[in-house]
Amino acid sequence: MQGSLRVALLSYRGDPQVGGQGVYIRQLAEGLRSIGHSVTIFSGPPYPDVSAGVSLVRVPSLDLYRSDDPFRRPGRSEFRGPLDLLEYGLMCSGAFPEPLTFSLRVPRYIHLDQFDVVHDNQTLGYGGLLLARRVPFVTTIHHPITIDRRMALTAASDAKERATKRRWYSFVRMQKRVSKRLPCVIAVSDAAAKDVATEFEVSARRISVVPNGVDVELFRPLPDVSRRAGKIVATLSSDMPSKGLSFLLEAVAKLRTEREVTLTLIGKGGAGEVAASAIKRFAIEDAVEVLGRIDALELVHHLNEASAVVVPSLYEGFSLPAVEAMSCGAPLVVTTGGSLPEVVGADGGAALLVPPADAGALAAAIARLLDDPGLQDKLSHAGRTRVLERFTWTEAASLTAEVYRKAIAAC
């Protein structure tokens, strides 16, 4: 099937401010629209701001994790049926209900005769199986959450915390069961594809690799902004153990014993309790600037000012922060966790590579980069070039549309 496709794009959370999956939904929809396809996003709250030409259907929920009132207690009038009771009951038990309840709600809002294909953004809920029986169905798995669960359990301080983590991640059992039964899966990197096949037991024949993109017009080098000596920047969407924040803060503490450096933490992960505790433990309060969530233009400015941008993750299925930094021409230090070598180049052409969970190696690589402006320039040029060649949303949208057509032809 050639020509324009009518795409339903599903995401249990759609706001780009909640993390990389929200960015994925917005940018993929815009990329698909730009190459001639019709896109409707079906999203739970927090809802995205969609681009012109992209439609949005708001799928309601109790919105129990809203940023200004997390784990809230809804009023009696907010309960409209059994799914609301299920959502609240699961939250009260310590589980995370949104993937399940969104997947069960969304079929009520989709008129399947209006779409050629339905594309799920890692909801992996039982309701998706109902849709997959009736319409060509594609799902993106950014990476298996079994990996996050394993790291969270390892990092737990005692049996009580481990039990709490197991309950929170109980939705992963559903995701694994559903993944094994879906006909067409997109992974965002070769590393993620391998992990999806291993962790979720998905046949490799059903997995297509389509790398994410980046908005190269927004994330770009700014000619009127200069690098600031000693400025280190890290963007973290969460404070999960897999993000490796504690190792970065330890590396900064090591660097502070011999040089003047500052660390700017951007995103929700840098503003959490994990960061605050580690900053205090390492006595680097005067060296760390915690910005939390900021708008994209401010982020671009900080990336352009950085003499070193660091992605300290223990594991990444893709890493939008790394690609955004590369697109801005920022000198980059990353670990070899997950897909990161694949994203920056296995030969380290666009970044300095260090082992994950190694604060000493991280500190040494950052120091090497800070001391060598020529190396900064080399990585800057290589990173921007790599993004323009491999990681645009137009390319991602074109490859995704090819997967859609395969799914449609197989039905």
Residue in 42, 68, 70, 67 with CA at minimum distance from that of residue 54: 42
Q: Which residue has the tokens 């070598």?
A: 341
Backbone angles phi, psi at 343, to 5 degrees: -70, -45
Rounded Cα distance between 411 and 405, Å, is: 10
Rounded Cα distance between 388 and 294, Å, is: 25
Rounded Cα distance between 304 and 57, Å, is: 36
Collapsed DSSP state (helix, strand, coil) of residue 117? strand
Whole-Å CA distances, 368 to 64, 118, 201, 254, 361: 45, 47, 41, 14, 11
Collapsed DSSP state (helix, strand, coil) of residue 233? strand
Where does 145-189 have alpha helices with state H? Answer: 145-155, 159-168, 171-179
Superfamily of domain 6-213+392-410: Glycogen Phosphorylase B; (3.40.50.2000)
Q: What is the pLDDT of residue 106?
A: 97
CA 52 to chain centre: 23
Q: pTM of the entire structure? A: 0.92
- Which H/E stretch holds residue 375? helix 373-390
Q: What is the pLDDT of residue 272?
A: 82
Collapsed DSSP state (helix, strand, coil) of residue 191? helix
CATH class of 231-390: alpha beta
Q: Give the chain's radius of gyration (CA, Å).
A: 21
Collapsed DSSP state (helix, strand, coil) of residue 173? helix
pLDDT tens over the chain, length 411 residues = 478 999 999 999 987 766 678 889 999 999 999 999 999 999 999 998 888 899 999 999 999 998 888 899 999 999 999 999 999 999 999 999 999 999 999 999 999 999 999 999 999 999 999 999 999 999 999 999 999 999 999 989 899 999 999 999 999 999 999 999 999 999 999 999 999 999 999 999 999 999 999 999 999 999 999 999 999 999 998 888 899 999 999 999 999 999 999 999 999 888 888 889 999 999 999 999 999 889 999 999 999 999 999 999 999 999 999 999 999 999 999 999 999 999 999 777 899 999 999 999 999 999 999 999 999 999 999 999 999 999 999 999 999 999 999 999 987
Q: What is the pLDDT of residue 95?
A: 97
Number of C-alpha atoms within 13 angstroms, CB side, residue 345? Answer: 18
Rounded Cα distance between 139 and 235, Å, is: 26
Tell me where in the chain the CATH 3.40.50.2000 domain(s) lie. 6-213+392-410, 231-390
Q: What is the pLDDT of residue 270?
A: 84
Residues 6+ apart with CB under 8 A from 160: none
- Which H/E stretch holds residue 250? helix 245-256
Q: What is the pLDDT of residue 143?
A: 93
CA 57 to chain centre: 22
Q: What per-residue string of b and e applies to 268-300 under the rule 16 or more CB within 10 Å gives b?
A: bbbbbebbeebbeebebeebbebbeebeeeebb
Token pair in block for residue 143: 């990476």
Q: What is the pLDDT of residue 17?
A: 65
* Residue 328 and residue 215 in contact, taking contact as beta carbons nearer than 8 Å: no
Collapsed DSSP state (helix, strand, coil) of residue 383? helix
In single-letter form, the type of residue at position 223 comes to P
* Residue 324 and residue 233 in contact, taking contact as beta carbons nearer than 8 Å: no
CA 375 to chain centre: 28
Collapsed DSSP state (helix, strand, coil) of residue 120? strand
* Residue 238 and residue 316 in contact, taking contact as beta carbons nearer than 8 Å: no
